[in-house]
Amino acid sequence: MMDRAERLRGERTPYVLATVVRVERPTSAKTGDRALVLPDGTMEGFVGGHCAEATVRDQALRLLDSGESTLLRITPGAESPPAGRAGGRPPATSTEGLVTVHNPCLSGGTLEVFLETVIPPALLHVYGDGPVARSLADVGRAAGFDVRPTGAADPPGPDAAAVVVATHGWDEEPILKAALDAGVPYIGLIASRKRGAAVAAALDRGDRVHTPAGLDIGARTAPEIAVSVLAEILSLRPARPVHPPAGAEPEAHHHCCE
């Protein structure tokens, strides 16, 4: 199971690791049972029968959206389904770090399953081998990015969160065009204002290229420029949505579930 999890990490595939941490019988699962839940709903492993599996899958898929982890409690002691919901999705209640779901199975039993969400770190492609490129790689790794120092012959894929070109005039346009075609959210070019504007103007959709890359913080040295570029990347990244658990209604005064 853990070997498979490591392979998923290497492939940059998000997943949820579900681990049974406590049981109250009757239940077919036992403490220590595990399963992986993939973004397409595939489950590998065992954390209980049909009722438990369906609930774990449903909650895990929601966690893949939010990036959070939680303890899931499936128990007959939870609120019973309201009239008219027989056979539907069991209702859920939520407190910080815990989601409780009614167990609809006649066999009863209680399961507590820790759902650990594993999301690959944001992928940052850095093109170039000069001082700014090296500093950006160091700063990006320190900030938790998966930094890939990349050659011009290796175009970025659609899973890249950011591409920064710091090749000092070498192969800039082909790399930038490949990043634009891949729909990379952030594309930066390290260049003077005049040269950067000329390069961007020669590209279709060149207005999406941030040049000179980085926030204007008065950066002068290579490490300072790297910090300004990373700050710009972070300032423009999309917020991750946070969803309430299945069946739970968020309180009116909250922006998300608790």
| Claim: this prediction has a pTM higher than 0.75 | no
Of 118, 140, 167, the domain-final residue: 118
Are 93 and 21 part of one and the same domain? yes
Range of the domain at 30: 2-118
Query: Does residue 243 fall inside a structural domain?
Result: no
Of 118, 149, 170, the domain-final residue: 118
CATH of the domain at 171: 3.40.50.720
Are 114 and 127 part of one and the same domain? no
Query: Does residue 242 fall inside a structural domain?
Result: no
pLDDT at residue number 95: 72
Are 131 and 108 part of one and the same domain? no
Are 97 and 175 part of one and the same domain? no
Are 30 and 81 part of one and the same domain? yes
Are 112 and 6 part of one and the same domain? yes
pLDDT tens profile 14-66:
999 999 999 888 788 899 999 999 999 999 999 988 888 999 999 999 999 88
pLDDT at residue number 196: 95
Are 111 and 132 part of one and the same domain? no
pLDDT at residue number 110: 87
Are 26 and 95 part of one and the same domain? yes
Q: Is 75 exposed, middle or buried (0-12, 13-18, 19+ CB in 10 A)?
A: middle
pLDDT at residue number 29: 87
pLDDT at residue number 229: 97
pLDDT at residue number 159: 87
Residues of the chain with pLDDT under 50: 80-87, 242-258
Query: Does residue 184 fall inside a structural domain?
Result: yes
Of 67, 99, 118, the domain-final residue: 118
Are 109 and 141 part of one and the same domain? no
| Interhelix angle 222-236/131-142, nearest 10 degrees | 50
Are 10 and 114 part of one and the same domain? yes
Number of domains present in the structure of the chain = 2
pLDDT at residue number 253: 36
Query: Does residue 62 fall inside a structural domain?
Result: yes
Are 134 and 81 part of one and the same domain? no
Are 112 and 155 part of one and the same domain? no
